[in-house]
Amino acid sequence: MTDAAELRSLTRKLLAEHPPATTGRTDFLKARFDAGLAWVHYPAGLGGLDAPRSLQAVVDAELTAAGAPDNDPRRIGIGLGMAAPTILRYGTQEQKERFLRPLWVGEEVWCQLFSEPGAGSDLAALGTRAVRDGDSASGDWIVNGQKVWTSSAHVARWAILIARTDPDLPKHRGISYFLCDMTDPGVEVRPLRQITGEAEFNEVFLTDVRIPDAHRLGEIGDGWKVAQTTLMNERVSIGGARLPREGGMIGTVARTWRERPELRTHELRQRLLTLWVEAEVARLTAERLRQQLVAGQPGPEGSGMKLAFARLNQEISGLEVELLGEEGLLYSDWTMRRPELVDFTGRDAGYRYLRAKGNSIEGGTSEVLLNIVAERVLGLPSEPRNDKDVAWKDLAR
C-alpha cells in the first residue's frame, strides 16, 4: 500500500519532471492525473494510486508549497463532487477512462439534469422520458423533457441526467441514469434570473435528444439507486467543504465587527458570538464527516451538514445586514450576468443576504433533508407515503 513517504517522493518527481514555473497549467494537471496524484484514493490509471483518501493532504501540501496550479475545484465542483464518484462506482471501464481525466483536469465542465418543474423535492416523480430507438442498431435513447435549477448548464459540456424509461413501474423504479452531451442537437439552455439579478443557473429543454446506450450509467431501471450516490455526494460537497477557522461567511462578519467598532451593540455582539460558535461546531463536524468518508461512501449524515450550512449562511448574512445598518441595505451590483461561480466573499452584504436564500433550496430542500435526517440518522418513523407502489403513469400530476 502506498504510504505518505512514497507519495511525497512521487510528488517531488512530478515537480522535477514538470516544473510549475515552466509547464503550462493544463499540461501540469494532465501529468499530475497520469501520475496518480489527482485523487490518490481512486484506482491506479484513473488519477489515483489506490491509496488511503486521508493521504491526499500529503500531496496537496507538497504541490501548494511548490506553487503548482490546482484544477480550480470551485469551477468544476459538480463534476468533482457529483459526477466523478458516480461514474467511478457505476461506470464501465470505458466510461471511466473517457470521462474522469478531462473532468478532473477541468477541460470538460459538468452540470446536473435532475430537478424538473413538477419534480423538485419529490425528485422520483420526474417526467422526462427516455425511449429506446428501435430503428437504431446501437440502441440509442431519445430523450424529451424539461429540467430546471441547473447550475453551470450554460458552460457545461456534459450533464448527469435521470429520465423515466418505464412509466408502468412505480416512480422510484422506472428511472435510468445517463451521461448527456450538452452540445448535442435538441439541448436548449435558458437562463433563470434570480433575486440577485444574475442567472447562474438555468432551465434546460430536451427535444428528441439522442443519447447512445454506451452513455447509460448503471442498469436500465436502476437510475434511482445510481442517483442516490450522486445526491449523497452532492450534500457532502455543499455542506462539508474544508474551511479554516473563521472561513466562509462568518469570517467576513467577524472582520467587519473588528474593523468597525462604531457598529457594535451588545445585542449584536451576543448574536455574533452564538453564530461564531455554531459555525465552528459545523466546521469541526464537517471535518469529522470527511474522516468518516475515508472508510467508505457518504451516508445520510451529509444531509445534516447541508442543513446546518444553509441555516448558518442565512442567519449570518442577516446579521451582517443588521450590523451594517443603512449601509447593509445597499446592493451595488444588481445586474444580469451569467457567472460560472457563486462568490459569497467577493461581493457586498446585500448580495450575500439575497443569495443565501437559495441555500435552503439547492442541493435538496431543507424540508426534505429534515426527513432524511429524521428517518435515516435518528431512526424515527417514516412519513406515510401512499404512492410508493403505484405505477408512475397512474399518479396524479
| Pick from 28, 54, 25: nearest CA to 39 | 54
- Report which DSSP code applies to 197: S
Active-site entry in 234, 301, 315, 320: 234
Is 280 one of the catalytic residues?
A: no
CA atoms within a 13 Å half-sphere pointing along the CA-CB vector of 145: 25
The values of phi and psi at residue 119, to 5°, are -150, 75
The amino acid at residue 42 is: Y
45, three cell numbers: 490509471
Residues 121 and 160 sit within 8 Å (Cβ to Cβ): no
Quick one: which H or E segment has residue 32?
helix 25-34
Round to whole Å and give the CA distance between 321 and 350: 7
Count of Cβ atoms closer than 10 Å to residue 295 Cβ:
9
Count of Cβ atoms closer than 10 Å to residue 60 Cβ:
15
Strands 158-164 and 110-113: parallel
Residues with active-site annotation: 234
